[in-house]
Amino acid sequence: MTETTFIAVADGSDDPPAPIKGVGRLLGWIIPANFGIFLIWGSVPGILLPQQLTVMNASDKVANFTIVATIGAFAAMIAQPAAGQISDRTRSRFGRRAPWIVLGALAGGLSLVGLAFANTLVGVAIAWTLVQITYNFAQGPLSAVLPDRVPLARRGTFAALSGIGLMVGALGGQIIGSLFFNSIAAGYVVFAVFALAMLVLFVVFNPDYSSTNMRNESFSFGDFLRTFWVNPVKHPDFFWAFSGRLLLYTGYFGVTGFQLFILTDYLHVAKPQDVIPLLGIISIVGTIVATVVSGPLSDKIGRRKPFVFGSSIVMAAALVLPWVWPTFTSWMIMTLVMGLGFGMFQAVDTALMSQVLPSAKSFAKDLGVVNIAATLPQTLAPGIAGAIVLGFGYGALFPIGIALSILGAFCVWFIKASK
């Protein structure tokens, strides 16, 4: 099957044409590529952005962070499907994805520099919104590499490696971000340069087929707007996969994304910047162990669902600890166990998602919609958590996170395209 034919007739359950430089190179380079982007998602909304707002106005830090996080989340929700729609229709000798990966990384870096110099709530909100939009224009096309180029038999392994880059970036961002706790602007610049370098190298070392001969259907703005509605009747597997990821991610990031304020205001840790690196290392260990084992094992046995169910049970059990035993020790134990559960989930969920995509013509757009379920919780969950804390206190975060994790796994039960 040629690349052009594949785009015209295939869906997510079909094997794509072999990558130009081989699958092995893709497997290696997806780790630093995801690491570059998710280092930003781990450091900025979790550490640097709330600290920036605390320095600006400590008395209103929770409310201001809730406002900024919510605005940015809605921007991300629109940006990634839009980026996917554009990249699906892009004709260039470098393929459909490469131009947007590079341009998104470059524009994202400039937006981070703008955030570094913002000194008002309005300025921070605008700059953070631009960061969300631009980096999603890189992340959306990058996520489409999986169904575009990876054969079905290797998708669990690819998803595991992708998950390692994602989670080590998100958790490593907490560690590295804490090093810039008192020099926020410098941190923004460092993360911007690093992400640009990693994504450019990914594109250079993993060339794609030319898309200059691809035929595009006429664009319909109405059809694009309808992509935000996942039809449970027409595409039930797609709907359940989206819903499951949205719920489980929200449960996870609703707690971990609010870590800085939980440490200071709920667990009364005097210097959170001193313990966040330790927590990041603990979480990385749990995540990597679970990811490395779960992804290849799911390929070997040909099943994804048991790993999702298991991950939700592990994550729910972890969240019980700081709820009933609010100490820093319980938080450390929770961090390790949550890392194991989320690593198990992340290792197989991406492979499962790739199997429910309706058409190769719109892989990036459809993944953009699916990835709303991943990116939206990471950016919106801190805002939701802020509202919960303002209304009910920190203790209410944990039972809500438990319920969301269990409901997320329950949705996966109804997916028929995967066992």
The string of pLDDT tens digits covering residues 168-211 is 887 788 788 888 988 999 999 999 999 999 999 999 998 888 87
The string of pLDDT tens digits covering residues 247-280 is 888 888 888 877 888 998 899 998 888 898 888 8
The string of pLDDT tens digits covering residues 307-321 is 888 888 899 999 999
Average pLDDT over every residue of 378-400: 82
CA distance 339 to 315: 8
HEC string for the chain? CCHHHHHHHCCCCCCCCCCCCCHHHHHHHHHHHHHHHHHHHHHHHHHHHHHHHHHHCHHHHHHHHHHHHHHHHHHHHHHHHHHHHHHHCCCCCCCCCHHHHHHHHHHHHHHHHHHHCCCCHHHHHHHHHHHHHHHHHHHHHHHCHHHHHCCHHHHHHHHHHHHHHHHHHHHHHHHHHHHCCCCHHHHHHHHHHHHHHHHHHHHHHCCCCCCCCCCCCCCCHHHHHHCCCCCCCCCHHHHHHHHHHHHHHHHHHHHHCCHHHHHHHHCCCCCHHHHHHHHHHHHHHHHHHHHHHHHHHHHHHCCCHHHHHHHHHHHHHHHHHHHHCCCHHHHHHHHHHHHHHHHHHHHHHHHHHHCCCCCHHHHHHHHHHHHHHHHHHHHHHHHHHHHHHHHHCHHHHHHHHHHHHHHHHHHHCCCCCCC
Distance of CA 397 to the CA centre of its chain: 21
The string of pLDDT tens digits covering residues 333-376 is 999 999 899 888 877 777 777 666 655 555 556 666 666 676 66
**Burial class for 151, CB neighbours closer than 10 Å (0-12, 13-18, 19+):** middle
Which pTM was predicted? 0.71
Cβ atoms of 138 and 105 within 8 Å: the answer is yes
pLDDT score of 124 more than 90? yes
- Residue 9's pLDDT band (cuts 50, 70, 90): very low
The pLDDT value given to residue 368: 64
Reading the block at residue 260, the tokens are: 């800085």
Q: Could you tell me which of 330, 317, 325 has the C-alpha nearest to residue 279? A: 330
pLDDT score of 14 more than 60? no
| 10-208+231-412 placed in CATH 3.30.1490.20 | no
The pLDDT value given to residue 346: 77
The string of pLDDT tens digits covering residues 38-73 is 999 889 988 899 999 999 988 888 889 888 988 887
Average pLDDT over every residue of 119-134: 94
Reading the block at residue 232, the tokens are: 């449970």
Reading the block at residue 129, the tokens are: 């919104």
